[in-house]
A and B are shown apart, each in its own frame.
Chain A
């Protein structure tokens, strides 16, 4: 119960500070965030958009871990846990795409610009989307669990590349990407204010609290979803 109350308090803290703290050119107190030229008030998306993308990585990782567990123990409950995590991962992946796309319209001028991160999340959606098609196409429980476990392991191998590596070695609009220096015409690690994202102490605190709170929220949602699937499977076995 304590961790649920902690989650509630932390999330309230993130919502209050993340939305209400003003963004000013030169912060003079801890209650102010620094201005990032080109982003201004829109920089606040970082407290809500990044955690959703982070959670999709965590969820896909958990799906892989429980996939491996299933392959070792052949316990169908592990497959249910893996499946619950896949569903949540997909949901957070869609949320990250939609929130980012709405934001991009007002900051970069279009809903979609095939930035490396946008491309990689699109490919992830396709990879994991086809896993759902695969799961729904197989009737036999054990065969479905085995194939899904193997697929989720192979699919996760692509995640670090798409989320952490590709956006950092290619030119793009997201923070952390490379860009072309307009003066020397050479590829450099972000000098554009939008790409070279600098947070101050309080902004970093809210950001990491947000990541932490969202991770607890994911754990809770995953536990509820997987228990519900396990109960459903057990009941349908009893009834048949």
Chain B
């Protein structure tokens, strides 16, 4: 049995679920940011040509 913070997480597993969902959301957010940035670059390139 772990002690301290890890022990707390072991006893309250809902916080593990919460952290995983947060990480997934961060991933989706970064993906959307990147796609948006790339589209802007393509739109700019198309306008210049």
Distance of B9 from chain A, by nearest CB (Å): 12
Question: What is the total number of residues of chain B having a CB less than 8 Å from a CB of chain A?
Answer: 16
Interface digits, B17-49 against A, CB 8 Å rule (1 contact, 0 not)? 110011001000100110110010011001000
Distance of A236 from chain B, by nearest CB (Å): 13
Distance of B37 from chain A, by nearest CB (Å): 10
Distance of A68 from chain B, by nearest CB (Å): 25
B36: chain A residues within 8 A (beta carbon): 220, 223-224
Cβ-defined contact, B29 with A8, below 8 A: yes
Cβ-defined contact, B42 with A231, below 8 A: yes
Interface digits, A1-26 against B, CB 8 Å rule (1 contact, 0 not)? 00010011001100110011000000
Cβ-defined contact, A12 with B22, below 8 A: yes
For chain A residues 180-218, which have a beta carbon within 8 Å of chain B?
A: none
Main secondary structure on B side of the interface with A: helix
A11: chain B residues within 8 A (beta carbon): 25, 29
Asked whether A228 is an interface residue with its Cβ less than 8 Å from the other chain, the reply is yes
Asked whether B6 is an interface residue with its Cβ less than 8 Å from the other chain, the reply is no
Asked whether A221 is an interface residue with its Cβ less than 8 Å from the other chain, the reply is yes
Asked whether A75 is an interface residue with its Cβ less than 8 Å from the other chain, the reply is no
Cβ-defined contact, B25 with A15, below 8 A: yes
Minimum CB distance partner of A230 in chain B = B43
Cβ-defined contact, A15 with B35, below 8 A: no
Which residues does B use to contact A, with CB under 8 Å? 14-15, 17-18, 21-22, 25, 29, 32-33, 35-36, 39, 42-43, 46
Enumerate the 6 nearest inter-chain pairs by beta-carbon distance, A residue then B residue, closest first.
Answer: A19-B18, A20-B18, A15-B21, A227-B39, A8-B29, A224-B35
